[in-house]
Structure 1
């Protein structure tokens, strides 16, 4: 049990970078980017092919990040310059990335068994997870710092009110391309780290990543909230870890099989989407009852005063 939870926390941190990328497009830009399913594999493919050819895992991670930036930039260009619907732009790029990823890998999967990756070879779970947490938190803080710069503020304003930010002279096409690129760069970096941790890359590892990312963001916001940029990005990381823990616990249910993984994912996402809206509706209902009771009490007092 403890081993599975430890693994869930480790995976949650690694997938947390993907959740941060989804947060940028989903919450900041309000852009439905399905490129994620393809760019996640792109990161893993670049990392796997470079590491098996003798390159440093650090260099492989940097190259994967750049590959994700390029994929996101293509999606952004299709949407802004090609005037293609945002959802369709992501779908088209996701389809194109399937062939591109196959070209990168040269075959459907690459095994890295026997390849020495020092970082993930650390035997102590506590030390390894601690180092991963430090690295992920550092990337989160760098993202927070960027979102507080003038360019980051323009990026956030583009998602909130593009017409207003254009009136101030900002180029919303540029900020959209930048945001989508940065998002997919983080997703690809997550894919590269997951590939290094698991020891293999496969053409199908990106299937459903956008759903997992959305679930992580929504779960995190329900738990932590999104009052400021710091807490919003922290919520994405917390949501990713909580998602992986729920996933691990669900797999320990005796009547659950490996074939039920997609069902588990769907159920978690449905609960994550329905629960916040149900809570808001419940609070509004209670507030309405409270106000009705106050108005009834006030009317009763007035009628009693008039009778005297």
Structure 2
């Protein structure tokens, strides 16, 4: 029974955090930018949502405000990247550092408990299900909505321009597309989704903390890599790619839950995540290298036979 509850909790975390992973995917894969704002903007979403809730605000308004706050954080990163010509990694680091102080200002302290406040999951009392089950339902609904909107948006002219910018920026610029604008839109959208996830997670866990975003970028990358690895031989349709990230996020949480049930200390989770991401990123390289070596040996063998 304990194991079943652990898996249920893992599914709950997976469908909430996958929205953050979708945000990371936009910059990391589509724009080919290593945006490290993630840890800060995730906490910003939680902070904004928490402050609104403790003042009696509507949970939906709190989530939308978190989304907007994340968009502002993404705008700052995009501005540093495109207008100040600061390298992407450094621009993200600067935004992340600045957001730590901003989040403290928003909350007024390092931690805000949400006991006794309204949340998106309160309706579970009326239907007789647990908070975790209600959170899973809300997470799935929001995830489906986000995936549908992303699929639609990246099928538009602007969305295709953003994707093309990540593939070949020089070519896109040559045909008259403002790549600074596409990067700006990408970072805004990415961090908006990340903050939205932060707001949902804060309501689910019952508190917002200034450090709740630490390691979020690694979790996002782990979800992306796991999903891409599983769906590597499946159709590369864009909707499949988005779906793979959702699946990757859930599987990552399942793995964590299973490992914890086996007795791993929670202190080692970040190390485990880092190892998983490192292995997942390295495996494709070594597989490609082995294929190249095999091809080289086959060709040299054929040449030797002909010469003989």
Alignment TM-score, normalising by the size of structure 2: 0.91
Deviations 1:35-86 (A, max 9, x none): 1110000000000110111111111000000000000000000111111111
Supply the distance in 2 between the matched residues of 1:228 and 1:176 (Cα, whole angstroms): 22
What's the counterpart of residue 251 of structure 1? 260
Deviates more, 1:122-131 or 1:112-121: 122-131
Supply the distance in 1 between the matched residues of 2:181 and 2:198 (Cα, whole angstroms): 26
What's the counterpart of residue 139 of structure 2? 132
Give the aligned length: 299
Supply the distance in 2 between the matched residues of 1:219 and 1:185 (Cα, whole angstroms): 23
- Which of 177, 201, 205 aligns to 1:198? It is 205
Q: How big is the shift at 1:157?
A: 0.9
Secondary structure in 1 aligned to 2:118?
Answer: coil
1:85–1:20 CA distance, 2 compared to 1 (3 A): same
- Which of 155, 158, 168 aligns to 1:151? It is 158
Gaps of 5+ in 1: 304-308
- Contact 1:65–1:189, Cα closer than 8 Å, also in 2: yes
- Contact 2:59–2:118, Cα closer than 8 Å, also in 1: no
What's the counterpart of residue 251 of structure 2? 242
1:83–1:127 CA distance, 2 compared to 1 (3 A): closer
Supply the distance in 1 between the matched residues of 2:147 and 2:55 (Cα, whole angstroms): 30
Deviations 1:69-128 (A, max 9, x none): 000000000111111111111111101000000000000000011223252662255565
Supply the distance in 1 between the matched residues of 2:298 and 2:133 (Cα, whole angstroms): 49
Supply the distance in 2 between the matched residues of 1:251 and 1:281 (Cα, whole angstroms): 35
What's the counterpart of residue 306 of structure 1? none
Secondary structure in 1 aligned to 2:112?
Answer: strand
1:207–1:238 CA distance, 2 compared to 1 (3 A): same
1:118–1:28 CA distance, 2 compared to 1 (3 A): closer
- Structure with larger Rg: 1
- Which of 66, 69, 72 aligns to 2:68? It is 66
Verify: 1:41 aligned to 2:50, yes or no. no
Gaps of 5+ in 2: none
Alignment TM-score, normalising by the size of structure 1: 0.91
